[in-house]
Structure 1
Amino acid sequence: MEWIIVTLASLLAGFVDAIVGGGGLILLPALFATFPSASPANLLGTNKSAAFWGTGIATWRYSRRVHMRWRAMLPATLASFAGSFAGAWVVTLIAADFLRKLLPLVLVALLLYTLVKKELGRTHAPHLALGTEAWVASGIGLVLGFYDGFFGPGTGSFFVFLFVRVLGYDFLHASASAKLLNLATNVAALLLFAAKGHVWWHFVLPLAIANIIGSLLGAHLALKHGAGFVRGIFIVVVGALILKTGYDAFLR
């Protein structure tokens, strides 16, 4: 019964994550609820083993239909990988608890800004020179990669928001680019967890297949309905993240 529950959660996580990020909001709590006595490291590693496949498929799907600014995104991908690996290493030395109370407040500000700026992310209009864009995107990748390795919740949504606000992307192009960088952060974290033996390999196949199916469905809807649809899902996911992280920080 346990594998059915977490497999369905992985399907939904892949669907949501392919559109706008936030799949960890679904699968990770499902793993913790289903296996309450398990080591958190094992659950985190197993979550990453599923997310890797879904994010990889979504990245491939988007890259075939959305024009990716590769000269900016490839160095940003390397920076994201390095940042995530460094963050995962640092979290083995110090606790990330201080971020729990800060995160929901940051997410509230992000959501309010998106709601007030109704035209934000509806038009794809990159405004930086390509070289400058590569440096800025790499800076975003390094910082958010470190955050993803160190703490994690909302990383995909932060990528999308910053690509829209700072680089001038629409929500569809921002989501496509975020998938690429999120893939790099997932790979870095998965390598670390796997090296330390924190992956339940007997769960990987069903979780990965479910995550891939959900990811294909999510990417299909995002590509079909465009930036306005992705913006709407972004608002819903960030709202859910606020409720989840707020509960964890102040009520649990």
Structure 2
Amino acid sequence: MEIEIIALLLVAAAVAGWFDAVVGGGGLVQLPVLMLAMPGTPAVSLLATDKLSSIAGTTCAAVTFSRRTKVDVRLALISGIPAVVLSGLGAAAAGTLPSEVLRPVVAAALVAVLAIVVARPSLGLSSTPALPTRGRIAAVVLVTGIALPFYNGLIGPGTGTMMVVALTTLLGIDFTRGSATSKIVNLGSNLGALLVFAWQGQVLWLLGLGMAACNMLGSRLGAGTALRRGSPFVRTVLVIVVSLLLLKLGVEELV
């Protein structure tokens, strides 16, 4: 592989780590660059390598957030444990469904996320935690521990962003705490997918480890930025990331 391509992938991993730490959506940067830089490589191998890089950055961001902001670790683990299994199932099913079937579903989910954030300007800007009733906890687990992890293993991009909005909406917490909590859940989600991909022999380990180091650097910087700038900044980045992801899906549809 040419040195220019390797450098591009390492930079993309660092940028993806920053976005992922702030509000999720790192796959919006990292996976498309992998596909453009390595067009002859099977898509499932690129997805597997993306997961190896992402899990390193997510771990770094989770540690940084947990040290500097309040995170409901118990609730995060309740969702994070089933996320390991469901993302593994999604990874096992990767490649069995055509993107033409999945793309409209993803686009609809992202439109809903953007509509919720735009229609509710105060969402995520302050923290007024809702009472952790059984129904609310069940909703959190269903969305962030089951549905989104399965999608993460199957496709991936946008999972972290949708998870932040789901936690913020369902729990009544601000975007900074939502992003922090989502990192623990997403760690389990990425782990389950990575284990399946590794068992299948799909991971490009040397490239993935190099990208993982850069992703960790970007995640560390991103987590620090989110904590320093606060929820208004996270909200702005969230709207930008979701809009770009929708634009990407629209361009793919036209092409």
Category of TM-score, reference length = shorter chain: over 0.9
Quick check: 1:121 aligned with 2:133?
Answer: no
Q: How far off is 1:155 after superposition?
A: 0.6
Which one-letter code corresponds to 1:138 in the other structure? V
Q: Give the TM-score, by structure 2 length.
A: 0.93
Which one-letter code corresponds to 2:58 in the other structure? T
Residue 14 of structure 2 is matched in structure 1 by 11
130-139 vs 170-179, greater mean Cα deviation: 130-139
Quick check: 1:198 aligned with 2:202?
Answer: yes
Residue 240 of structure 1 is matched in structure 2 by 244
Match of 1:164 among 143, 168, 171: 168
CA contact (8 A) 1:84 1:147 kept: yes
Q: Report the secondary structure of 1:97's partner residue.
A: helix
Residue 175 of structure 1 is matched in structure 2 by 179
CA distance in 2 between counterparts of 1:142 and 1:198 reads 24
Residue 213 of structure 1 is matched in structure 2 by 217
Q: How far off is 1:96 after superposition?
A: 4.9
CA distance in 2 between counterparts of 1:30 and 1:48 reads 14
CA distance in 1 between counterparts of 2:126 and 2:27 reads 28
Q: Percent of aligned positions with the same letter in both sequences? A: 36
- CA displacement, residues 198-241 of structure 1 (integer Å, 9 cap, x when unaligned): 11112123211111110011000000011111111101101111
- CA displacement, residues 158-217 of structure 1 (integer Å, 9 cap, x when unaligned): 101111111111100110111111111111111111111111112123211111110011
CA distance in 2 between counterparts of 1:219 and 1:197 reads 32
Residue 254 of structure 2 is matched in structure 1 by 251
Which one-letter code corresponds to 2:142 in the other structure? G
CA distance in 2 between counterparts of 1:65 and 1:143 reads 29
Q: How far off is 1:143 after superposition?
A: 1.3
CA distance in 2 between counterparts of 1:73 and 1:125 reads 18
Quick check: 1:40 aligned with 2:73?
Answer: no
Residue 105 of structure 2 is matched in structure 1 by 102
CA distance in 2 between counterparts of 1:235 and 1:28 reads 20
CA contact (8 A) 2:44 2:95 kept: no
Quick check: 1:29 aligned with 2:32?
Answer: yes
93-102 vs 46-55, greater mean Cα deviation: 93-102
Q: Give the TM-score, by structure 1 length.
A: 0.94
CA distance in 2 between counterparts of 1:130 and 1:66 reads 23
CA distance in 2 between counterparts of 1:148 and 1:204 reads 18
Which one-letter code corresponds to 1:135 in the other structure? A
- Correspondence 1:10-89 to 2 at 5 A: 10-89=13-92
Root mean square deviation, CA, Å:
1.5
CA contact (8 A) 1:72 1:131 kept: no
CA distance in 2 between counterparts of 1:6 and 1:27 reads 8
Q: How far off is 1:135 after superposition?
A: 2.9
- CA displacement, residues 123-168 of structure 1 (integer Å, 9 cap, x when unaligned): 1122122655543322221111111112222111110111111111
CA distance in 1 between counterparts of 2:182 and 2:67 reads 15
Which one-letter code corresponds to 1:145 in the other structure? P
CA distance in 1 between counterparts of 2:141 and 2:193 reads 18
Residue 111 of structure 1 is matched in structure 2 by 114
- Correspondence 1:181-192 to 2 at 5 A: 181-192=185-196
Which one-letter code corresponds to 2:5 in the other structure? E
Residue 146 of structure 2 is matched in structure 1 by 142
